[in-house]
Amino acid sequence: MTIFVKPAGGGTPTGVAGVYDYNSLKQAVQDWFARSDLGNWIDYFIQMGEQKIYRDVFALNQGSGVKPMEMAFTGTIATDGTMALPDGYLGLKNAVVNLDGNSFQLQRRNAEFIFTQFAFRGAGGSPEYIARQGSSFIFGPSPDGPYTITGIYWRKFPQLTVVNTTTWMTDTIPTILLAAVNGAAARFNKDGESLQMWDAEYASQLRDFLLADRAEEQSGSAFAMVAG
């Protein structure tokens, strides 16, 4: 079995078992299944494992992402009243519009609400509501100027690969990632006993992680209007 430890200052891990990056994850999968020939398929398992985590986080966390997925964004509403989604957009946590030196929180709605309540899509005033339609944000009322929007969204980060060697998953939830990837490997191996074990381990660890993230989120103060 190959052994890894993350040294001070970063670099290639050596010395103690663990998952810290792409290479150590790949080795861990091969070690757990005692199959060095899995290397040609592990990128598939990683892709499947990451997709499962993203999907389950939102499904089990009341439609919200988690703190390590959060990214700040800033954009200006275009002349057609829309604003492009930021890179890797998965969901919106909050958004504010900057108006007369103050920042006001936009209320999240779906596109149907925007088009029903604000059917007139010409210049209507300062936006109060935000929704996603396709690859853009839309607003209600339709903006009468190039307002600046800032906020926080949940992002899907580039997949873990031999080039992109670390992600928030390797940094924050490495054992959950390993369980998800090993579950995919167990399916590939048609190993029902391992699949049952890794699915149970994954579900238990993910539940505890989501509970801890939710507790930390709820310990903070509520979002409020701030003066500029």
On the question of pLDDT at 176 being above 60, the answer is yes
Helix (H, G, I), strand (E, B) or coil at 15: coil
pLDDT score recorded for residue 15:
57
Do 150 and 164 reside in the same domain of the chain?
Answer: no
Do 201 and 94 reside in the same domain of the chain?
Answer: no
On the question of pLDDT at 7 being above 50, the answer is no
Average pLDDT of the residues in 100-124: 89
Cα–Cα distance, 107 to 94 (Å, whole number)? 8
On the question of pLDDT at 2 being above 50, the answer is no
On the question of pLDDT at 223 being above 50, the answer is no
Domain presence at residue 214: yes
Domain presence at residue 78: yes
Cα–Cα distance, 26 to 42 (Å, whole number)? 7
Q: Where does a domain end: 138, 155, 172?
A: 155
Cα–Cα distance, 91 to 107 (Å, whole number)? 14
Do 82 and 150 reside in the same domain of the chain?
Answer: yes
pLDDT tens-digit series, residues 8-60: 445 555 556 789 999 999 999 999 998 888 878 999 999 999 999 999 999 99
Q: What's the pTM value of the predicted model, to 2 decimals?
A: 0.84
Cα–Cα distance, 96 to 228 (Å, whole number)? 12
Do 170 and 57 reside in the same domain of the chain?
Answer: yes
Helix (H, G, I), strand (E, B) or coil at 223: coil
Domain presence at residue 144: yes
On the question of pLDDT at 190 being above 50, the answer is yes
pLDDT score recorded for residue 203:
97
Do 40 and 119 reside in the same domain of the chain?
Answer: no
pLDDT tens-digit series, residues 128-159: 999 999 999 999 999 988 999 999 999 999 99
pLDDT band at 206 (very low <50, low <70, confident <90, very high): very high
On the question of pLDDT at 221 being above 80, the answer is no
From residue 150, how far is each of 76, 105, 210 by CA, in Å? 9, 10, 26
Structure-token pair, residue 1: 């079995």
Q: In this structure, which amino acid lies at residue 61?
A: N
φ and ψ at residue 200, rounded to 5 degrees? -65, -40
Do 130 and 184 reside in the same domain of the chain?
Answer: no
Neighbours of 128 (CB within 10 A): 16
Do 73 and 150 reside in the same domain of the chain?
Answer: yes
Report the chain's terminal Cα–Cα distance, integer Å: 57
- Which residue range is the domain that position 37 belongs to? 22-62+160-218
